[in-house]
Amino acid sequence: MSWPPCGAGAAVAVVAAFLIDLKCGEPPARWHPVVWIGRALSSVGAPWPRHTSRAQFFRGAFVWLALALACVAAAVVADRSIAAIAAIAASSQPSLAIAVRGLLLGAVLKPLFAWRMLRDEVGAVEKALERGVEAGRERLRHIVGRDTAELSMTVVRESALESLAENLNDSFVAPLFWFCVGGLPGAALYRFANTADAMYGLRGRWEWAGKWAARSDDVLSCVPARVTAMLLAIAALRWPGGLSREARRTASPNGGWPMGMLALALDVRLSRPGYYVLHAQGHCAGPDDISRGLRIAARAAWSAVIVAALVQLA
């Protein structure tokens, strides 16, 4: 078996990675590849604000390309090492080769996506709101990068649902999509790009340094975001009209698709004050809407795993 992975071994890897995620959650930070990526990005990003806009842009592009190449190279080495171990197993007992490759590849793939952590963090927001709006605001800070100090209880719930929909794509469906396209290196490249966008693709002092990272993430997320919207529609057993119109209300070319779909599926209004309102005719987010959203997202996550495994088998 050689990279990119295909067939039964890769299908086993997808299922194994998802089951590891459900059972164990995230690995310790010292062993987490995404943490390593974040530290690498942070270590080379500190001097950028002293540069001109053009210098920031070119340095940002160079750093992105260099670190992306390093991530892909590491993933290729890991994948081929796993293939070599599987080949050794096959030489002694051929029936073990698929299982060995699938389980090892699944263990390496797992840190590149996260469903359980997203589910738990979003659910924790509603539990915190039971103690009051301030507790909900504090908990929401774990999953959003915006200021939550003045948010009402309704907007806290809206923000949690938006994060659920957007991160279902960014943290789960998109890495699986790119694993199907390019194997472990594809998933690693996407995870790097999304992390770089989260760290560099911000406005303010990082704007020019992060333009390459932001556009790269937009390109890599384009198809998966729409796939995520479709999976949410299937999970909700409905395809409401007006999704493309709602998706265009956000500045992001991709985030509006899963967020708009979840808003329409729940018939709930989602907004970021001062930026956008999705499904303005929907009802205000209430105590039951986060649990309903989590059930739909869970079904979408399972659907993504099944589809990814079938794609590998095909």
Q: Range of 152's domain? A: 8-313
Q: Report the C-alpha gap between 173 and 311 in whole angstroms.
A: 14
Using pLDDT thresholds of 50, 70 and 90, give the confidence band for residue 72. Answer: very high
Task: Please enumerate in sequence order all residues whose Cβ is within 8 A of that of 83, keeping only pairs 6 or more positions apart, or say none.
Answer: 1, 2, 3, 101
pLDDT value of position 203: 56
Tell me the C-alpha distance between 57 and 55, whole Å.
5
Instruction: Give the whole-angstrom CA distance, residue 287 versus residue 283.
Output: 12
In this predicted model, what pLDDT tens digit does every residue of 133-176 receive, in sequence order? 999 999 999 999 888 999 999 999 999 999 999 999 999 999 99
CA dihedral 185, 188, 194, 200 (to 10 degrees): -100
Query: Residue 220: its pLDDT value, please?
Result: 98
pLDDT of 47:
53
**Is residue 291 packed enough to be buried (19+ CB in 10 Å), middle (13-18) or exposed (0-12)?**
exposed
Beta strand pairing call for 276-278 and 270-272: antiparallel
pTM: 0.93
In a domain, 236, yes or no: yes
Q: What is the mean pLDDT of residues 29-49?
A: 83
Residues 6 or more apart whose Cβ sits within 8 Å of residue 196: 37, 41, 64, 67, 68, 210, 213, 216, 217
> Each residue of 274-284: pLDDT tens digit?
899 999 999 99
pLDDT value of residue 201 = 64
Residue that wins the pLDDT comparison between 4 and 126: 126
Mean pLDDT of the chain: 91
pLDDT value for 210: 81
CB 198 within 8 A of CB 142: no
Structure tokens at 311: 């794609």
- In sequence order, what are the residues at sequence separation of 6 or more whose Cβ sits closer than 8 angstroms to the Cβ of residue 105? 5, 9, 10, 12, 13, 16, 17, 79, 82, 184
pLDDT of residue 50: 64
Q: Specify the DSSP class assigned to residue 285.
A: P
- Structural domain includes residue 265: yes
Cβ–Cβ under 8 Å, residues 106 and 17: yes
Q: How many domains does the chain have?
A: 1
d(CA 273, CA 166): 17
Q: 167 in a domain, yes or no?
A: yes
Strands (E), the chain: 270-272, 276-278
The answer to whether the Cα torsion of 178, 184, 185, 189 is positive or negative is positive
Report the pLDDT value the prediction gives residue 48, as an integer from 0 to 100.
57
pLDDT in tens, 223-263: 999 999 999 999 999 887 889 999 999 999 999 999 999 99
**pLDDT bracket for residue 3 (50, 70, 90):** very low
Identify whether 1 is part of a domain: no
Model confidence at 2, pLDDT cuts 50, 70, 90, reads very low
Looking at the chain, the whole-number percentage of residues with pLDDT higher than 70 is: 93
Confirm whether 3 is domain-assigned. no
What are the backbone dihedrals phi and psi of residue 7, each rounded to the nearest 5 degrees, phi first? 75, -155
28 located within any domain:
yes
